[in-house]
Amino acid sequence: MAIQLYNTLTRKKEKFVPLEEGKVKMYVCGPTVYNYIHIGNARPAIVFDTVRRYLEYRGYDVQYVSNFTDVDDKLIRAAHQLGEDVPIIANKFIDAYFEDISALGCKKADFHPRVMENMDTIINFIRQLVDKGYAYESEGDVYFRTRSFNEYGKLSHQSIDELQVGARIEVGDKKEDDLDFALWKAAKEGEIFWESPWGPGRPGWHIECSAMVKKYLGDTIDIHAGGQDLTFPHHENEIAQSEALSGKTFANYWMHNGYINIDNEKMSKSLGNFVLVHDIIQKHDPQVLRLFMLSVHYRNPINYSEELLESTKAAFDRLTTSYQNLKHRREASTNLTADNQVWLDKITGLREQFIEAMDDDFNTALAISVLFELSKLANYYLLEKNTATQVIDAFTTEFEELFRVLGLTLEKEEMLDEEIDVLIEKRIQARKDRNFQLADQIRDQLKDMNIILEDTPQGTRWKRG
């Protein structure tokens, strides 16, 4: 069986055939770093990290690139409001982004290119489009001549005339045609700028991805991915820019994840229901948020609510409890051989089901239901009076492997002794300062990590529970 994936370009599930055997070139549009990420940004990060992990599990060598938009209108506005420079705002939220996504179990990309660090590449790309007649300068701006690219609209399945009528396209008298979009924007008074052949300014948003893909992965890549809202105009424009320049197919497969709703409502600034990952993971285990995101097929909409997260936590605990019970039982197990094979075959059967689910357009929802089958089977096995080490090991290995593919971990990370000592010192100080709330908070935090404190006349001792 080969992996099948749904391609937005053809609107069909297709067999995945990479350009080069055993290798995958993958690009995922990254965030604009003017704020902490909200759960709408977390979904593509988790979904496409899982796609990458699964492709690696199936033996592919994946080159994964995801950009940071570190200069644009939103960043300029945020910098202005906070009285800071754009690069300082960008650095702050790039750090926060890495902190959030690593908590969510997402691996770093091979490259995380930033606009500010790739200005020459971007300017060079635009210059070549101008030279070829696909773009033109107008009062310090540069625009892409949309009608010059015959296949415009092929990703979002719209004809150029439909777009002309229906699309909300920024109208400006600097353009030859309303459909044209900006590749370079002349700097307004007081704005951050870079020098270019067209005067001081900064790149438009779409061009950065075309330039980054070309620089880091080449003219043609296997998978280009992002949120569904990026299909038009962002991805459509990326195709136009890249294919106009290279004359080659830009990406063979286009993957888009569905929307996220909050309590059955669209997440929007005006409704004030923006949920930041930063805030959720203060209250909930980030692993639970990840499991929740993967519990719905990536192309379907997902509804977020506190209650759903709570029930996901209960489900997550069921899985980890099975695993812990298996581990505890290992010591008391023997080298039974009688009906081991029956159990081993059942475990293998479940792995095959898991692979089948993931091969079918990365159906994590179904794959997770297989994990619960595995957990049920393990619990059933543990009812046996005598258990075999071999079977226990097969179960635990299976848990570990399938969890890893989904980017989940089974064991809480252990705190280092030094970290514990630091916290205990902090608690002693808090008690001296009569800040009992903080002292209790530290005690609870340690308790969560299974560290038990004992206050004795000689001082505070601790042990692992």
Nearer to Zn ion, 256 or 427 (CB): 256
> If binding is defined by CB under 5 A, does position 211 make contact with Zn ion?
no
- The DSSP code sequence of 32-68 is B-SS--BHHHHHHHHHHHHHHHHHHHTT-EEEEEE-B
Q: Do residues 155 and 254 lie in contact, with contact meaning Cβ atoms separated by under 8 Å?
A: yes
Nearer to Zn ion, 29 or 75 (CB): 29
Binds Zn ion (CB under 5 A): choice among 5, 51, 209, 326: 209
> Least distance in Å: CB of 210 to Zn ion?
8
Nearer to Zn ion, 29 or 65 (CB): 29
Nearer to Zn ion, 240 or 350 (CB): 240
> Least distance in Å: CB of 86 to Zn ion?
19
CB-count burial class (<10 Å; 0-12, 13-18, 19+) for 239? buried
C-alpha gyration radius of the chain: 26
Nearer to Zn ion, 29 or 89 (CB): 29
> Least distance in Å: CB of 213 to Zn ion?
8
> Least distance in Å: CB of 238 to Zn ion?
6
Between 28 and 57, how does the x/- string for binding to Zn ion read (CB under 5 A)? -x----------------------------
340-359 vs 389-405: helix axis angle to the nearest 10? 10
Between 1 and 30, how does the x/- string for binding to Zn ion read (CB under 5 A)? ----------------------------x-
Tokens of 32: 């604009």
Instruction: Tell me the C-alpha distance between 176 and 174, whole Å.
Output: 7
Q: Where does 406-450 have alpha helices with state H?
A: 417-432, 436-448
- Angle of CA points 364, 367, 371, to nearest 5°: 130
> Least distance in Å: CB of 53 to Zn ion?
22
Residue 383, C-beta contacts closer than 8 angstroms, at least 6 positions apart:
none
Nearer to Zn ion, 29 or 211 (CB): 29
Nearer to Zn ion, 209 or 423 (CB): 209
Q: Which stretch binds Zn ion (CB under 5 A): 144-152, 162-170, 209-217, 308-316?
A: 209-217
Nearest to 179 by CA among 158, 164, 159: 164
With contacts defined by CB under 5 A, how many residues of the chain interact with Zn ion?
Answer: 2
> Least distance in Å: CB of 234 to Zn ion?
6
HSE-CB of 344 using CA atoms within 13 angstroms: 12
Q: Which stretch binds Zn ion (CB under 5 A): 201-209, 252-260, 380-388, 432-440?
A: 201-209
> Least distance in Å: CB of 250 to Zn ion?
11
Tell me how crowded residue 367 is: count the other CB atoms within 10 A of its CB.
Answer: 24
Tokens of 40: 């709408």
> Least distance in Å: CB of 251 to Zn ion?
11
Q: Which stretch binds Zn ion (CB under 5 A): 193-201, 206-214, 396-404, 405-413?
A: 206-214
137 φψ region: left (φ > 0), alpha (ψ -120 to 50), beta (else): beta
Nearer to Zn ion, 32 or 363 (CB): 32
> Least distance in Å: CB of 231 to Zn ion?
11
Binding residues for Zn ion, rule: CB under 5 A, are 29, 209
